[in-house]
Structure 1
Amino acid sequence: MTLDEEIAEGLAVPTDGWDFSWFAGRATEERPGWGYVRLCGERLGQVDSVLDVDTGGGEVFAEALGLAGRVPGTVRATEGWAPNHALASAALEPFGGVVTLVEGSATALPFDDSTFGLVTGRHPVSFPYAEAARVLAPGGTVLVQEVGAGSNRALYEFLMGPQENRDAEYLDDVRAQVGAVGFDVVRLQDALTRVEFFDLAAVVHFLRKVLWTVPDFTVEKYRDRLGALREHIAEHGSFVCHSRRTLVEARKP
């Protein structure tokens, strides 16, 4: 395939939801050892009410609910993108879930104080810890898997050039942010996981789907660097980088 054909293939794939099955055979990503979905399922079985923030297409939250054994009586989620809202509503309907469409990445949560026993989030745009503390009942828990600082740095610096690097301070920053809103940190864990791309179409689709990797990404702006990346894959067989995942579990006193 030519450069233009590979780019066109990556542009043609819909980006709705968080279903990554299209990448099979084109890219791989390791998962952190703690198993977020399993942990979430365990916590869900212990509460009567839950809120999932930035639920995407609801696929991951629905999987965790399916593992819970006992589904909470109140299941709520937020999502900021209308196509994902429709997908999430369908995915969570079997669990009695209601998805609220919020504006963009708004940090205000449209729920009353002390409403939920558990607030979750997997790869939120920016998890609203202060708002989570407000809507959690006393003794409630937050369980969040963040996209950590410097995630896929090798990829975005290949395209954008050197960027600010605060990777070493990141965990301390998270701990301080969580503590500042009154949470007691139960677990704070970090992992680097190998990501490997086997063709350029997969990179193009990934950059469109995971928007924060290269926030100003367009094919036109990065065409020359995409060409260089394609040559790198042809020479080395793949392009390797590492995602960073951070697990945050904290409790409201």
Structure 2
Amino acid sequence: MDVLPGAEPFAHDGSDIGVLVCHGFTGTPQSMLPIARRCADAGYTVRLPRLPGHGTTWKELNTKRWTDWWSEIDAAYDELRQRCDRIVAVGLSMGGTLATLAAQSHPHGIRGLVLINPAYTMRDIRLKALPALQHVVPSIASIANDIKKPGVRELAYERTPLRALQSQRQMWEKVTRDLPQVTQPVLLLHSPDDHVVPPECSALLLARVSSSDKTEILLTDSYHVATLDNDAALIEDETMHFIQRVTERP
């Protein structure tokens, strides 16, 4: 299936420090490309995969499950591991969930986590009916383009596929249950005014991870897709400082 222009994955081979970058649900690598390029410009080795079912059509995404997305992220991690001995995972929204899963699955390989409005649950009352609704209604309105900055658009789907969303919920349950397994340093950047992911997600993360090194930064001038919003420069700067700090050799 043809990939939408601008939705292509990004890869760069650089130093022995690797950065695994994960985009969000119904989105594409476009939302994380500025961070990926900033890391590449700094000389790091970078992998930003396009998750299966993304960047094509929402109907194709409805045929995919969370294990498909995780397999793509895990394969990208394996690529980095072949070249790098220090890796940091960076994720937006569901990409934050996947980055968290990477830290849980590779506790000795992932040195740190950068999480931008990570998703572990949602408030939408319709989610209670989702197990049944997914078999009746294929999609609901889009969750994309929650951006405060005028004139900026996220390359994402115009519909939210429900079977894929239900699968994401199953991933949330697994990752949330295992949050105490996360011991790596965490940089959490989240927007108080987020119309997609509720503030409970950030509170849940901070309360349940076992990390002693936790930094929280509020993105007060951005909505959900903060990597393309008014706080983008702040996110990139803080991400670069964090990567440098947590990958320093003892």
Class of the TM-score when normalised by the shorter of the 2 chains: 0.3 to 0.5
> Could you tell me the TM-score, scaled by structure 2's length?
0.37
Structure number having the greater strand percentage: 1
Q: Highest Rg: 1 or 2? A: 1
> Could you tell me the TM-score, scaled by structure 1's length?
0.37
